[in-house]
Amino acid sequence: MKLIKTEDYQELSKKGAELLMKEIKELEQPTIGLATGSTPEGLYKELIKYHQEENYSFKNVKSFNLDEYIGLAEEDENSYHYYMNDKLFNHIDIPLKQAYVPDGMAKDLDLECSSYEERIEKSGGIDIQLLGLGVNGHIGFNEPGTSFDSRTQVITLDKSTRNANAHFFSSGGEVPAQAISMGIQTIMDTKKIILLVSGKNKAHALKELLNREITEEFPATILHKHNDVTVIADEDALSELE
Ligand code: F6R
């Protein structure tokens, strides 16, 4: 696991975008894995700049998001699909039919999960995956205790995750109890991974990730077994290490 240290969130976002764009530019038809939450927002702003200021076209890019809440439609402003449209897809030229987010409204959730896996496979796998780190060590919505063998599945969210994400639900909605998430094996199958870790509230989780043995109790520790992971962390996130 490679560790890139940055001074602050802005530098982290720029570095993350640079690495992602380097990979995208090298491939004819890149397939990228995307995350939501607070951490990648700055990186998405940087990607928009590549499109708007440098005219870079995302027409050949395909994307797969890590997760989506069950019971929230794309139009619901608390859904991750809405987040992606709002923070990235509406501002670049990626064709929306190539930008996949799990369907949290699917009637048959198991079928939605297996079809999502199939779609990733048909695209030739994910070339580069963006991840954030949960305070409890989750990646995607794979909460502590999730099997390392897991594939895209329905997950019951931990209380700590629902609390951590409550601030996004400004319009009074409650954080749903369940989500669809790419599994840990799905994430491990991606060819390259960028893990972004920012802020004092992640300092303990980052320390755990870097120092703990590999355990399903702290899902992100599995990343030690992946052969191409770059962790980008800012000073605040590194504060318990130094
Ligand atoms: C989001 C996701 C989660 C977040 C993690 C950190 O798609 O899969 O694993 O990356 O919960 O969230 P933030 O960035 O809000 O601290």
Indicate if ligand 1 lies below 6 Å from the C-beta of 134: yes
Of all protein residues, the one whose alpha carbon is nearest to atom 11 of ligand 1 is: 134
Of all protein residues, the one whose alpha carbon is nearest to atom 1 of ligand 1 is: 36
CA of 8 to the centre of ligand 1 (A): 18
pLDDT of residue 171: 66
CA of 213 to the centre of ligand 1 (A): 22
pLDDT of residue 172: 63
Of 36, 68, 155, best ligand 1 pocket probe by most atoms within 8 Å of the beta carbon: 36
The three-state DSSP-derived secondary structure of the chain is CEEEEECCHHHHHHHHHHHHHHHHHHCCCCEEEECCCCCCHHHHHHHHHHHHHHCCCCCCCEEEECEEECCCCCCCCCCHHHHHHHHCHHHCCCCHHHEECCCCCCCCHHHHHHHHHHHHHHCCCCCEEEEECCCCCCECCECCCCCCCCCCEEEECCHHHHHHHHHHCCCCCCCCCEEEECCHHHHHCCCEEEEEECCHHHHHHHHHHHHCCCCCCCHHHHHHHCCCEEEEEECCCCCCCC
Global pTM value: 0.97
Indicate if ligand 1 lies below 6 Å from the C-beta of 37: yes
Indicate if ligand 1 lies below 6 Å from the C-beta of 138: yes
- φ/ψ region of 140 (left if φ > 0, alpha if ψ in -120 to 50, else beta) reads left
pLDDT of residue 202: 98
pLDDT of residue 173: 75
Angle 2-38-12 from CA coordinates, rounded to 5°: 35
pLDDT mean for each 10 residues of the chain (242 residues): 98 98 97 98 98 97 98 96 98 98 98 98 98 97 97 96 88 87 98 98 98 98 98 98 80
